[in-house]
Structure 1
């Protein structure tokens, strides 16, 4: 968010504007992630107070995290109602007037989500459920743990995880930055120094300390270096 703020200010200046002071608040950044909470609260005169909804959407039906026999999955069937009812073998729900409008269907969230869960309980595993849902064009995806994510073909093809050399851990994998540039596709091989790693270099080159004086500082505990 801060970087976007900076880029917007730079673009303003490049297009003939002046430089400006940038003000950004951490609490306002967090507040901006509240999706529709403010609008729902204000437009209903305070009657609708959004709250934690667990794995389900707090307002809409047919959307959320559902349990399969072996794993959990995410389903969003709001705009694919016909396909969803076909996938879960509930054609009787397709033309039910109560569920025609997604906003109205939210009133019957327990019934709709319950029907989805009942169907999932009949599937052998998550991948069988995904195959049926995708065949009916219902957006869905498995909930992956970190090991499954790192082993995912898309993640491997993208190179989303990269290996670096660390002085303490040796070769270790870390998330790759999501920012990609055509002119320098590979991120620079940067690493943080360990505590006090550059003590001698700084004191010798910038303060012109002799080696004996630097060692005296170390022996008296004034400076120290640790491999952390």
Structure 2
């Protein structure tokens, strides 16, 4: 049993790949009953990367726990009818195809609202529907490029434009969708009103990027250049030591004063006007970080970590993916544990990262096999076993194995 804060909320999850499934997994972790509606072939991400069995790859396992899998062919009238029956008793329907595709299926907001006027109907897709990009397809790489992330990488010193090596847009927009769903549910609790919501990737990520980098162009006319100089500094990177790399963040006046004292140059903060305030340091950040890089290179990683931690100057090791999974802090808080998946055997599972004093979210279900819960959920919607068998024979559902 998951006693999280959304216990009792039922969510129809028509999403696939990563952005939507990541959002609905968080909602499932928070206690919602998430019913993952999959086409007969299943979510494409089921087969991306290593797996022990077909349809159960690692990326899928980490984005689809706390869900029940129901296969419905929504292009068949019987599949669409089943979806609307499920919607009649759901609190939320969330999807991440283009709205035009939902309309073609007869599952636009007005169609679903007719089955359940209180439904919270959430579209998580590429572009807001009031602009010229409305009908365009969108993927993480396209959105990263559209909001300038590869350009930022070259301004910060990359040899060629590069995407961030994470599905960053998918995950950031997925988290934004969680906020939209929970806020709409709160509104409905107070008013009884359902509503339709769009969470567009492009606009969400434009806000994410411009919040840092609109910078001087915040003002009209501009009061300075676009681009936050500290973030775009070519020397803002893990610093090379005598035997490795270290992540160091000397930021405020107190930390810089302490750092210059540590290296035997206490006079710098008062004597050099380039570095004696945060405004001055920001203006001269390239030279400051270049100097810091040269200083860090004179000692070993362990030596710097010891002295900086003792001086309360922020410092962290530079992990690899493998060493991150063995981090002592993550071990101490139980972030990673080995669990026994019913079909996939032993696997590493990540804990819910937040801690709650009363309604602690948790993990009640492992990621489901394709169609594992089709019969169970259809029975809950009022279908008899004979009707479920008929849906299966028509190809409108798949009952798993």
> TM (normalized to structure 1)?
0.72
Distance 1:12 1:208 in 2: 36
Structure 2 stretches lacking a partner, 5+ long? 1-175
In the alignment, which residue of structure 1 is the partner of 2:387? 207
What is the aligned partner in structure 1 of residue 249 from structure 2? Answer: 76
The verdict on how the C-alpha distance between 1:224 and 1:132 changes in structure 2, with shifts beyond 3 A counting, is: same
Alignment of 1:108 onto 2:288 = no
Instruction: Give the number of equivalent residue pairs.
Output: 213
Q: Shift in Å at residue 153 of structure 1? A: 2.3
CA 1:205/1:39 → structure 2, altered by over 3 Å: closer, same or farther? same
Unpaired stretches in structure 1, ≥5 consecutive residues: none
209 and 136 in structure 1: CA distance in 2 versus 1, 3 angstrom threshold: closer
In 2, distance between residues paired with 1:33 and 1:206? 51
Asked if the contact 2:235–2:286 (Cα under 8 Å) also holds between the matched residues in 1, the reply is: no
C-alpha spacing 1:223/1:138, structure 2 compared with 1 (3 Å):
closer
2:325–2:336 contact (8 Å) kept in structure 1 = yes
Answering whether residue 206 of structure 2 is matched by residue 49 of structure 1, we say no
Distance in 1 between the 2:386 and 2:358 partners?
A: 35
Distance 1:137 1:62, change over 3 A: farther
Per-residue CA deviations over 1:75-130 (Å, capped at 9, x if unaligned) read 22120220121233333422211211222223333332222122212112x22112
Quick check: 2:239–2:293 contact (8 Å CA) kept in 1? yes
Find the residue that maps to 2:227 and give its secondary structure.
coil
* Cα pair 2:217 2:223 within 8 Å, conserved: yes
Cα distance change of structure 1 residues 174 and 40 upon mapping to structure 2, 3 Å threshold: farther
Q: Please show how residues 101-180 of structure 1 align to structure 2 within 5 Å.
A: 101-124=277-300, 126-166=301-341, 169-180=344-355
**Structure 2 CA distance, aligned partners of 1:224 and 1:18?**
35
Structure 2 CA distance for aligned equivalents of residues 117 and 76 of structure 1: 11
Which of the numbers 193, 204, 216 marks the counterpart of 1:19?
A: 193
Question: Which structure: larger Rg?
Answer: 1
Task: Indicate whether 1:67 and 2:67 are aligned.
Answer: no
Higher relative contact order (CA 8 A, sep 6+): 2
1:188 is matched with: 363
Note the C-alpha offset of 1:161. 1.0
The question of whether the paired residues in 2 share the 8 Å contact of 1:66 and 1:75 is answered with: yes
CA contact (8 A) 1:164 1:173 kept: yes
